[in-house]
A = this chain, B = another copy of it.
Amino acid sequence: MEKVRIGIIGLGRIGKIHAENLRYRDDAVLVAASDPFLTAETREWAARIGVRRLEKDSGAVVGAPDIDAVLICSPTDTHVPLIEQAAAYGKHIFCEKPVSLDVRETARALEKVRQAGVKLQIGFNRRFDRNFRRIREHVLNGTIGAPHLVKITSRDPAPPTETYIASSGGLFIDMTIHDFDLARYLTGSEVTEVYAQGAVLVDPVFAKYGDVDTAVVTLKFASGAIGVIDNSRRAVYGYDQRVEVFGSGGSAAAANEFPNAVEVGTDAGISRDKPLHFFLERYRDAYRDELDRFVASVLRDEPIAVDGSDGYQAELIALAARLSLRTGRPVRTAEALELAERVNADAGA
C-alpha cells in the first residue's frame, strides 16, 4: 500500500476538518465521503477540496472496494453499527468519540474489530495537543516525578443547542469524556473510582434532559494519584482548556492558548484578547496530528495511538460519573456496569 485510500462517513464540522487535513497528505487520499444530508453547501465544499465521490448512503463508502479505511464522523448512535459493518468489510477504522452511549455496546463493537483484525483508532484528539503532549513528556522523562494530582479544567465558551443536548448522552459522556481520556493518558494509570458533583447553573434546559451543565469530578487512580476535573458549558471569556499534573518532583501546567500574544495597557487596566475560540481553533493541529498516527498505523503497521480500549475505559469512567451523580456517592469503575443495571432496574420498577 502506497497511499491509504480513505472514506469519510459524516460531513459535519469534524468530518470536514478531516477531509481538509487529508488534502495535504502524501500518504493518504480521500476517495469518497457520505452524508445523508448533502446540502448544496456541502456539495460545493466537496467540489472545491476535490472529494472524488460523494454519497448519501454510508454503505456505499464502507463497502467500497477501493477504500482501505473509514473515518466515522457521523452521530454517535451510528458508530457501533458502522464499526461492525466496516470490520466485516475488513476496513480499518477511525471513530470519533464516544464509540457509543452504552459501554456494553462499545465492548461488543470492539470484539468485532478484534475478530476482524482491523485497526481502530478513537478520536481523542486532545492527546495530540502540543501542550498536553508536552506535559505527558514531562511525566515520562521524570521531570515532575510520580504524579500525585491531575487537574483538568475544561469549559466550553457556550452551550450546544437543545437538539444536541437531547441526544448527547449527558455532560460526562459527551464533554467530560475527553478529560477522562486525558487523565488516563497523562498519568498512564487507570481510574478506579469516581465521584461526581453536578449542577444546573448555566441554563435550565439541561435539567429538562436530566443533564447538568456544571460539574466537578474526582478520580482515584490505580497508582494512588488523585484527579479532579471541572467542567462548565459556558465560560463567557472563552474556551478554557487547562491541565496540570503535580508530582513528587514538581508540576507541569498548560495555560490556555490565545489568538495572539498582544497585551494592551490603557487607563482601564491591562488586557488581552480571549483564548482561541473553540475546539476547531484550539485543536486545529491536533486534528491533523491524530491522522498522522492513524495513517501510520494503517500504512506501516505502527502502534495505534488511541485504541478501542481507550474508548471503552473513558466510557466506563463516564458511566461511573453518571451513576455517582445519580446515587450521590463515589462509584468504582469495577462496579459501574452492575450498578447501572441495578439503578436501571430500580428506575424501571
Give A contacts to B, CB under 8 Å.
23-24, 26, 48-49, 130-131, 134-135, 138, 143-146, 148-149, 151, 153, 155, 195, 197-199, 201-202, 214-216, 218, 220, 224-228, 230, 232, 234-238, 240, 246, 248-257, 259-275, 328-330
Contacts and interface: CB of A to CB of B under 8 A. Distances in A.
Given A151-B230, A218-B218, A328-B330, 8 more contacts: A131-B261, A134-B259, A135-B262, A138-B262, A143-B264, A144-B266, A199-B224, A249-B267
A289 B163 CA distance: 37
18 contacts: A24-B24, A130-B260, A144-B264, A149-B232, A151-B153, A151-B230, A195-B195, A201-B248, A216-B228, A218-B228, A235-B246, A237-B250, A238-B265, A252-B263, A254-B261, A255-B263, A269-B271, A271-B271
Nearest to A271: B271
A264 to B, nearest CB: 5
B138 A202 contact: no
A273 to B, nearest CB: 6
Given A144-B264, A270-B271, A248 B195 contact: no
B149 A237 contact: no
A146 to B, nearest CB: 7
A255 B261 contact: yes
A226 B215 contact: yes
Contacts of A130: 259-260
Contacts of A226: 197-199, 214-216, 230
Contacts of A257: 261
A262 B269 contact: no
Nearest to A243: B262
Given A214-B148, A228-B228, A330-B329, A265 B250 contact: yes
A273 B269 contact: yes
A131 B195 contact: no
Nearest to A23: B24
A340 B275 CA distance: 46
A170 to B, nearest CB: 17
A35 to B, nearest CB: 21
B269 A274 contact: yes
Contacts of A330: 195, 328-329
Contacts of A237: 250-251, 265-267, 269-270
A253 B246 contact: no
Contact of A273 (B199, B202, B259, B270): B270
A262 B251 contact: no
A198 B330 CA distance: 14
